[in-house]
Amino acid sequence: MAMDPDPDLDLDMDMDMETLADAALAGDSGGEAERYEAAEAEADILRDRFRLAVISIATAEGSKAGMTVADPVVACIADLAFKSAEQLAKDAELFAQHAGRKSVRMDDVILTAHRNEHLMGLSRTFSQELKGKEPASERKRKKSSKKYERVIEV
């Protein structure tokens, strides 16, 4: 199986994605089957784009170690990472719903890594950095907004 990342493929995919997305979202008089197929095609496009991203990350990482990564290996990693991403989505959604929320937050994502303490620590540090970079107004809204506002007013 030749897994050559074709640069031209990317352009085609962008166009196709829009067409298929339109077909999937806009009126479809057909049944669920059509929609399912359209969704599957969309998934394939996403999978390919995802694979390209994995290739670039893996190649960069491999060259750091002074090694080249064979195509089949990268394809495997890409597929596994994609499945991980899907699993992450499902788990994060479950956690958010469990907390009675509709939107997934950072904490939900961090929880999905609960099986690996080290990983959870890493993502927590990362999330704290993100929070730290947020402008003061954002933080005001999230944490004890009332207290903060009172301080300013008085």
47/53 Cα distance (integer angstroms): 10
| Closer to another protein by Cβ: residue 82 or 148 | 82
Rule CB under 8 A: say whether 131 interacts with another protein. Answer: yes
Instruction: Say which residues have a Cβ less than 8 Å from residue 131's Cβ, sequence separation at least 6.
Output: 106, 139
Choosing from 1, 4, 15, 66, the residue that interacts with another protein (CB under 8 A) is: 66
Residue range at the interface with another protein (CB under 8 A); choices 5-13, 127-135, 143-151: 127-135
Instruction: Say which residues have a Cβ less than 8 Å from residue 114's Cβ, sequence separation at least 6.
Output: 120
Please tell me the number of Cα atoms within 13 Å of 148 on its side-chain side: 10
Rule CB under 8 A: say whether 98 interacts with another protein. Answer: no
Q: Do the beta carbons of residue 125 and residue 119 sit within 8 Å?
A: no
What are the residues binding another protein (CB under 8 A)? Answer: 25, 31-32, 35-36, 39, 42-43, 46, 49-50, 53-54, 56-58, 60-62, 65-70, 72-73, 76-77, 80-82, 84-86, 88-90, 92-93, 96-97, 102-106, 108-110, 112-113, 115-116, 119, 122-123, 126-127, 130-131
